[in-house]
Amino acid sequence: MSLPHRVIIRPFGDSDPFMVAELLQAASPEYVRFFRPFEFSCKAIEKLAWRSEKDQWFAVEIEQGGGFQAAGFYMLRGLDEGFADPMYGVFIAENFHGCGLARATLAHAEAMCRLNGWPNLLLKVDPENTQAFGLYEAGGFRFARIDPTTGNQVLIKAISQPALRDVE
């Protein structure tokens, strides 16, 4: 009997740009047709991830029996450019599609917003990506505007801010 799978969402490490490039390059063209935030090379991903000061990158892994398997990643970007609200982007590997991992990263991203005092979470979605749009709409995201450079819809979700207490 095998041990159950566990989902791990953790900040990017040194080898993660390579892992992300491998996942993106291994995906079928049909699967990645809506995911176009940057070039799918390790060098391009390293440049974006390692120059980040406020932007945050997270690896998504599946653990089973002490081993780890890359399942995807997500980003909170735009903060380094001076925006008050982060822009969420996610990619889940094709073989883990439909397992709820994108939904888990959304919950993690919302927690990061609350912890950091970011009032809104933004994302862009291609108008033809009805499956992703359905996930985001069910998660409380609403239409904000059209991105004139891509034609993508920009969606927004207001994040309620808890009264955090300092722990002594």
Domain range for 91: 6-158
Could you give the residue ranges of the DSSP H alpha helices within the chain?
Answer: 16-26, 29-32, 42-50, 101-116, 130-138
Query: Is 24 inside any structural domain?
Result: yes
How high is the pLDDT of residue 1? 46
Cα atoms in the 13 Å half-sphere on the side-chain side of 106 = 17
Query: Is 1 inside any structural domain?
Result: no
Query: Is 165 inside any structural domain?
Result: no
Is pLDDT above 50 for 100? yes
User: How is 126-166 classified by DSSP, letter by letter?
Assistant: -TT-HHHHHHHHHTT-EEEEE-TTT-PEEEEEE--------
Is pLDDT above 60 for 105? yes
pLDDT in tens, 132-154: 999 999 999 999 999 999 999 99
How high is the pLDDT of residue 3? 60
Query: Is 127 inside any structural domain?
Result: yes
pLDDT in tens, 28-75: 999 999 998 899 999 999 998 888 899 999 999 998 777 889 999 999
Q: Compute the distance between CA of residue 159 and CA of residue 103 in angstroms, rounded to an integer.
A: 16
